[in-house]
Amino acid sequence: MELFSFLLFFPILVVCLRVCKWVADERDQECYILDYQCYKPTDDRMVGTEFCGEVIKRNKNLGLNEYKFLLKAIVSSGIGEQTYAPRIMFSGREESPTLADGILEMEEFFNDSIGKLLSRAGVSAREIDLLVVNVSMLSAVPCLSSRIINRYKMREDVKCFNLTGMGCSASLISLDIVRNVFQSYKNKYALLVTSESLSPNWYAGNDRSMILANCLFRSGGCAILLTNKKSLKHGAMFKLKCLVRTHHGARDESYNCCIQTEDEKGRVGFHLGKNLPKAATRSFVDNLRVISPKILPVTELVKFMVVSLVKKWNRRGSTKGTTTQGPIKAGVNFKRGVDHFCIHTGGKAVIEGIGLSLDLTEHDLEPARMTLHRFGNTSASSLWYVLAYMEAKKRLKKGEKVLMISFGAGFKCNSCVWEIVRDLGDGNVWKDEIEKYPPKTLVNPYMEKYGWIQDEDISTFKIPEDKLFKGTNNTETN
C-alpha cells in the first residue's frame, strides 16, 4: 500500500517541483530599471537664434529657395529655444570634422551621465556584468563600449555590445539585448548607454531632403541601469512587461526613405524621403497589431474585431473609387491597457500623427511635445527625456503602465510596455525647470524675425550680411 501511495504521489511531487523551478526561473528572467540619468550638456553648448543664423549664413551653397525651406522647417518643427549642439558648431568647423570631435562629444556625455547614475544608485562600475552602447552615426576603434570600460575600469569579464546604424529606435533594440541576456543569466547588472554623435554628420550641401536633418537633431543621451536580481525588485523603478520589434527593411520604399548617402556632388548627408510618413505608418500599424494582444483586455480586442469587420463590410458596399482622407486610427482604446504614452520626439508631425492614431489627448502628448521643445530630437535617447518629464510632473504611480514607441532607419518601429513598480517623482534632467512647463506659448519667434525672406525676388536674391540675422538675440534651433 505504501509503495502504491509513493508511486501515485511521486509524479505529482515532481510536477510541483518543476512548476516551482519554472516560476523561480521566470522571476530571475525579469528585467527591471533601477535608475536612469538623462544628459544635460553645459550652457555653453546651448543653441540660440543668433547662433543658428550664423551657422546657416556660413553655408555658401544655400540660395533663396533653401533659406525659405529651412525657415519653414524650423518654424513648424516644434523645437524650442534652449536645445544643445556639439562643440564643433561653435568653432565654425562643422564642414571639416575630425574623429576627435565625435569622440569628445561622446566622452562628455559618458563622463557626466554614467558617473552620476552609478553614484546615485550606489553601484560600482566593477559590478556591471553587461554593457550595451548604441550610437548610430559614429564608429571608432576601439569601440565606444571599450572606451567606457577603460574610463570606468570595469571587470575583465564584462560582456559588451556596441551598436551602430540602428537610428532613432536603437534604445529599445539595446533593451532587447539586455532582456535576452537576462533570460540566460541570473542576478546580473546591465548598463545601457544611448546617444548620438552629431559632430561628424553635418551636411553642408543644398539638397532639401538632406539639409532637413540639420534642423531636427540635437545633442543628448541617457544612461540606464537595469537588473534581474529578485532581491532588488522592490527598489526598482520599472519592470519590463513586453517588447515588440518591427522591421520593414525588406520593402525597398521603407528601406530607402531614411538613409545616409551622398548628394550629386559627393557630400555625405542623411536623406529623409517624402515617403517617410507612409513607411512610418506601415511599420507602426504592424507593430500595434503584435503588441495589442499583449497589453489590452480581451473585451477591447473583441470590440476591435467587430469594428474592423463592420468597416470591411462597409468598404465592400461603398462606391468603387471613393476614398476617405485622414489619419489611420488604431481602432482600439489603448487607455484600457496603458496609462502613459512615451512617444519618440521625431518631430511635431510624428507626435501629432501618433496622437491621432491612438486617439490621445493633449495631456497624453504633453510630455513628448515639451521634450521636443526643450531638448529637440536627441535621436534614440529622446524616449528617456519624455519619461523623465512624466516623472518630474509626478504622473507615474505604482501599478500603472507606460507604452514606449520609437521609429528608426531601416525602417523600424519598436515598442515596449513598462509597469511602474513604485510611485516616482524625481526630477532627473528636468528638476531645475519643470515648473516652467508647459509654457504659455510654443510659438516660434523665427518667422517674426525672418519673414521678409518670403517676399524676396528669387532672380535678384542677395541677402546683405548686415540684414541677414541682424539683431537676433533670442535663442532657437538651427
Q: Which residues are catalytic?
A: 168, 247, 340, 344, 373, 377
Buried b (16+ CB within 10 A) or exposed e, 148-165: bbeebebeeebbbbbbbe
Alpha-carbon distance of 251 to 254, in angstroms, equals 5
For 278, 353, 357, the CA distances from 327, given in Å and listed in that order, are: 11, 7, 6
Q: How many CA atoms, within 13 angstroms, populate the side-chain half-sphere of residue 276?
A: 18
Per-residue cell: 164? 551602430
User: C-alpha angle with apex 358: 357 to 364, nearest 5 degrees?
Assistant: 125
Contact 125, 117 (CB under 8 A): no
Burial group, residue 398, by CB count within 10 angstroms (0-12, 13-18, 19+):
exposed
What single letter denotes the amino acid at residue 141?
A: V
Q: Which amino acid is at 432?
A: D
Q: Distance between CA 298 and CA 211 in Å, rounded?
A: 46
| Contact in structure between 429 and 371 (CB atoms under 8 Å) | no
Per-residue HEC secondary structure of 272-300 comes to: ECCCHHHHHHHHHHHHHHHHHHHHCCHHH
Residue 5 C-alpha cell reads as 501511495
Q: Angle, to 10 degrees, between the axis of helix 362-375 and the axis of helix 348-358? A: 170
Under 8 Å between Cβ of 379 and 136: yes
Q: Do the Cβ atoms of 222 and 27 come closer than 8 Å?
A: no
Which residues face 416 on adjacent strands? 243, 404
Placement of cell 476617405 in the chain: 324
**Spatial contact of 164 and 408, defined as CB atoms under 8 Å apart:** no
